[in-house]
Amino acid sequence: MCLKRPGSLIWYLIKILVYDVASKSSSHPTWTSIGSDVKITSYLKPFEHCTTIILFPSNITSQLLHQTVQYAPIISQKYNSNQGKLIENGFSLMRRRNPVPHCWASLAILPEEDDKFFFYKGHFHFRSAPDLISEYWSNQYFILVTKVKRKIQESLKSLGHVTIHQLRVREVIIIELFQCKNELISLTSRISWLRMYYHYIYFIDRPIAGVELSEPWYTINCSHEDCFTEIQLVAKNVAKRNKYFWGTHLILDTNWTSIHHLHTLINLTAIQSDRHGYQQVAHLTTFNGFVKFWILQDVLKYNLGQFYTPHNIAPIQKLTSSIYTKGFIFVPYDIQKFSYASCYQVMSSNLGGTLSSLTTPFDKATWICLMISHFTAILLLTSISEKLDFNEAFLVIGVSLENSVLSTYRPGKCILSLRMVIAVWAIITATMLSNIYKTCFTMEMILPTTYRTLLNSVMDVEGMKVLMPINLLDDNDFEKFNLGAYVRYKFFFDEILQRSLQVVVTQDGYKQLDAFIKLAKDLVNMIQPYFGIGADGKLFHNGTFSRLLQPHVAYNYSTLMECPIQPIKYTDTSSLKVLHTCGKVALMDTKENIAAVLPFLNDNPDNVKYLQIEDDSYFTVTRGWHIDSVRENYAVRQLHTMRSSGIFIHWETMLKLWKPAKLFHHYANWTHPESDAVSRLDLDSKILMAFYLCGMSVLISILVLILEIGWQKIRNSRTANE
């Protein structure tokens, strides 16, 4: 007669509902009564391509490796060996030639007769087991061998969908075995078939219109050869139902609430047919909230807010190496770059005066070619002529300047080659080149004066002060909340500190990076004491920002005034006075916002010119979405579809039209240039330069005419005297 054999589950994984499975009743045999020859090879065969791990209690002798070598486990260990991290680091790097993707199969024999084995409600920690590999590894199967299948199933069901967050990407399978003599046998009547119970983590047992009902456990009956395929098929169908278990919070007006609250504000079923439906959503929430809504709009109509939604969509945030981002899928959005607006060391491009205005129609290479051409023409004419003098140089230069110098040259005899060279030179230079030059010069006259700055970057300039919007580095849309000044300034300087710490650890050796590292070290040493952090990195909790987030704490605005990066608000236009000094000060914002505010800054009666300086990479970060790692991830698939199809760019553009950024010109009610165009006329402009050249040419012509008349009179008087 066969006795019931205690099954197994990873006892330190599951600490659920109080079930004292370790019953001390004499009706249950102990593990020590089982012989050494425990055969479970049949359940190892489906996972032959996986890294197979068998865990067993300490009172069981390990004879499992004495099975068929082909299906023997790769790793066999006792509980509390704390080898989980070592296993995943070692076996995940091994080279394999498997016909299927690599997977993990942890088969755990539960110590059900151990006095220390129990389920405890409220301590259901799959993540805390040191014997297991991380819950974030994909293709991971937990095969729980037990004789108390029903109790385990009921315990997991009583917890509901909370187990989803603990399991992550793990797949739980229960195998019910009994003891028969010295073997573990299954309940299956036919030896050639295996029976497994797959945990249906996304079960829905309440009637919801349009959603198929399901139970928390799915029975799999399969043969040895087809079992793994059956498990994969069931796992894929189960994983696809994760779409119903996504939930997120967003900002509606100024309230942080669940996305399912939209049901009370708008008609979600008719929003796609309404021309202004999406615009209504855009005005209710932020850009991050709109993206979350678009991703989940197809499942919001089911109103599943009554269920526990363990999967969350975070807002667009910077990519970090923090341990808190472990187990998340990062979907990249962009590389966040910033620009600066400043009038420091901004000057006109026409600082060369007349010479600069005369040379701008052609570039440097063209002028060099023209000089070589003139020199070559002079040499050619000199070699053809009979005598060596400066007449050839005067002829070449005079023709180029469109002067009538050909009439003064009357060679005694006809030299055909000389006349041909002069003719070609006159056509090319006096006709074509001069007209091209005058056309380009005239076109340049009507173009506005260009300005340039001597700054290549801003953050590496010694003594530079940067004015930054207080919410510029905010990744959580905190600006929508009615937060006090203390909280807002704490978030601002904390973000400056965190980004500076990343720069400090950057490898030096480059000139600009060395300047950044020096600035970062200065900022860290300056800001850390205000957060109660010592020079050695220890926390002393004695700084201005060491207190917990209290919305009504009074804030001293003189705090950190020595910091070269100061927060500003676009509602406070007094910052314009600081910018208008044109000292070592610059406004920092995104590239789009700087381009939008630049016309407003340049519209001033003092003709102060601001230029946009591109990002110098001090604050550059990669941004994206940190999304829960889920099998058949619905949110990631929706997001990839949104990005690859162009839908994301479309809505991003529309949201900028519906809700443009409110900058200085918005709060100053500025819509167009208000300064008089005449008062802003640049006296160094090319139009005035053209008038100067015209006047100078007239004066020179009059002077030459007077000299010629005087010279002619002198010659006539000399002739008369002779």
**pTM of the shown model:** 0.73
Q: What is the pLDDT of residue 705?
A: 80
- Paired with 249 in beta bridges are 258
Query: Please, which residues have CB within 8 angstroms of residue 582's CB and are 6 or more apart in sequence?
Result: 342, 343, 344, 346, 608
Domain boundaries, the chain: 31-244, 350-448, 686-722
Number of CB atoms found within 10 A of residue 215's CB: 12
What amino acid is encoded at 664 in this protein? F
SS (H, E, C) 555-616: CCCCCCCCCCEEEECCCCCCHHHHHHCCCCEEEEEEHHHHHHHHHHHHCCCCCCCCEEECCC
CA 483 to chain centre: 26
CB atoms inside a 10 Å sphere around CB 216: 21
Report d(CA 408, CA 625) in Å as an integer.
81
Provide the pLDDT for residue 404: 64
What phi-psi label fits residue 345: left (phi over 0), alpha (psi between -120 and 50 degrees) or beta? left
For the stretch 698-714, pLDDT in tens is 888 788 788 878 888 88
Residue pair 302/209 in contact (Cβ under 8 Å)? The answer is: yes
At residue 654, the pLDDT reads 93
Q: What is the largest CA-CA distance in the chain?
A: 157
> Beta strand 183-186 with 255-258: parallel, antiparallel or unpaired?
unpaired
Q: How far is CA 82 from the centre of its chain?
A: 37
Q: What is the block-wise mean pLDDT of the chain (722 residues), using blocks of 10 residues?
A: 36 31 32 39 82 72 49 60 60 58 81 51 44 79 84 78 78 80 55 83 83 89 88 93 85 73 77 80 88 88 73 87 74 92 83 63 87 87 71 78 63 66 83 84 70 84 92 82 84 92 79 84 93 85 79 82 93 89 93 93 87 85 90 93 92 92 88 59 59 79 82 80 71
How many residues can be counted in the chain? 722
Backbone angles phi and psi of 250, in degrees to 5: -145, 175
In terms of Cα–Cα distance, which of 29, 619, 632, 131 is closest to 338?
Answer: 619
- Quick one: pLDDT at residue 58? 63
How confident is the model over 413-466, as pLDDT tens digits?
556 777 788 888 888 887 888 888 888 877 766 666 678 888 888 888 888 999
Measured distance CA(145)–CA(4) in Å, rounded: 13
The two beta strands, 317-318 and 621-628, are: antiparallel
Distance CA 317, CA 626 (A): 8
The helix (run of H) or strand (run of E) holding residue 525 is helix 511-527
* pLDDT for position 9: 35
Sequence-distant (6+) residues with CB within 8 A of 1 are none
171 contact partners, CB below 8 Å, separation of at least 6: 140, 141, 142, 198, 199, 231, 235, 631
